[in-house]
Chains A and B, each alone.
Chain A
């Protein structure tokens, strides 16, 4: 389970980041607090560690360069999560485009090679699960990931996302039902 690794508040981190002389310290605290959670969000989406590493580095660079645009309308983690997932989606689209180009060039794309080798086991199902997750609204996806993968208690989630426990439970339940429907629709019922 990945929980925030530092007790320092988001407000303090933001204050440090706003000031040029303390920006590095603030940035390191920000990473210490959220890097693992965000890494795993990205890793589950892109699967390979090297890819996740590229994405997470781009993500944090983007965060640092645009932190002044964070208006505090949402919780900091929600904002970070959005940047991380957007980066991962961009990465996946670029990868897909490259793969298409390889096909046009007559080469078998790496992704297809890997897919051809994998058996219908955990990895393939995980891939389907990620596809299903992409169909969910952002908040439901975020809540699902925190509960299903990170096993975050609702109370902790509530603090992190500034949402009531009841609303979080409802979001999670909806997400689970939608994913199940997605799985049933593509007939992956035999586990």
Chain B
């Protein structure tokens, strides 16, 4: 009761117009036992509803790009891709027509070329390796269902942490 008086006094001081309006208010009514029955009514509806499915959100271009990058830069995949690329490049060099002097691998066996490239992988242009690999690889296969969301998220975090600004600029 004291609180009601306080509220009304406060309102009267602030706005006599609204205080008057409050006095004129006609109280609204609800059916008897309405609030008692309401939780049951709502719960019955909830029970009949199918469990909400957690749909996979649609990825934007940045997420798709980074997913691709994260998959590509994942150590296991990266080694696989690099190895595959080495084989491709080695094959290209081996089969490339032209003079022996133009071909630095002339006279070497396929195994020797592969071994050389594996040891000196850092000297090869990354872009070239990726391009070579992408000729034969369908990236969508790698970014598909074999990686779950958690793995991709984790990878993305790691990749983002390791990427420096220059690489990011190149990616963009």
Binding site for B on A (CB under 8 A): 24, 27-28, 31-32, 35-36, 39-40, 43-44, 49, 53, 56-57, 60-61, 64-65, 121-123, 125-126, 129, 147-148, 151, 153, 173, 176-177, 179-180, 183-184, 189, 191
Within 8 A of A (CB), among B18-55: 18, 20-22, 24-26, 28-31, 34-35, 38-39, 41-43, 45-46, 49, 52
A176 and B24: CB pair below 8 A?
A: no
Choose one: B4, B17, B25, B38; the contact of A180 (CB below 8 Å): B17
Which residues of chain A are within 8 angstroms of B39 by Cβ–Cβ distance? 27-28, 31-32, 35
How many angstroms between the C-alpha atoms of A185 and B101 in the bound complex?
92
How many angstroms between the C-alpha atoms of A68 and B26 in the bound complex?
39
How many angstroms between the C-alpha atoms of A177 and B16 in the bound complex?
11
B42 and A61: CB pair below 8 A?
A: yes
Most central of B4, B11, B25 by chain A CB within 10 Å? B25
- Please give me the residue from chain B that is nearest to A60 by CB atom: B42
Choose one: A27, A64, A151; the contact of B4 (CB below 8 Å): A151
Instruction: Give me 17 A-to-B residue pairs in the complex whose CB atoms sit less than 8 angstroms apart, sorted by A's number.
Output: A24-B43, A27-B39, A28-B43, A31-B38, A39-B35, A53-B34, A56-B38, A57-B38, A57-B41, A121-B26, A122-B25, A123-B26, A153-B6, A176-B11, A177-B14, A180-B17, A183-B17
- Please give me the residue from chain A that is nearest to B27 by CB atom: A122
How many angstroms between the C-alpha atoms of A31 and B41 in the bound complex?
12
Q: Contacts A35-B38, A57-B41, A173-B14: A65 and B52 contacting too (C-beta < 8 A)?
A: yes
How many angstroms between the C-alpha atoms of A43 and B18 in the bound complex?
20
Interface residues of B, CB < 8 Å — how many?
30
Q: Contacts A27-B43, A39-B35, A49-B30: A191 and B20 contacting too (C-beta < 8 A)?
A: yes
B25 and A126: CB pair below 8 A?
A: yes
Choose one: B18, B43, B46; the contact of A176 (CB below 8 Å): B18
Q: Contacts A151-B4, A176-B14, A176-B18: A35 and B26 contacting too (C-beta < 8 A)?
A: no
How many angstroms between the C-alpha atoms of A48 and B41 in the bound complex?
19
Q: Nearest chain A CB to B55's CB is how many angstroms away?
A: 14
B46 and A64: CB pair below 8 A?
A: yes
Which residues of chain B are within 8 angstroms of A49 by Cβ–Cβ distance? 28-31
How many angstroms between the C-alpha atoms of A125 and B6 in the bound complex?
23
Q: Contacts A36-B35, A153-B3: A61 and B17 contacting too (C-beta < 8 A)?
A: no
Which residues of chain B are within 8 angstroms of A28 by Cβ–Cβ distance? 39, 43
Which residues of chain A are within 8 angstroms of B52 by Cβ–Cβ distance? 65
B15 within 8 Å of A (CB atoms): yes
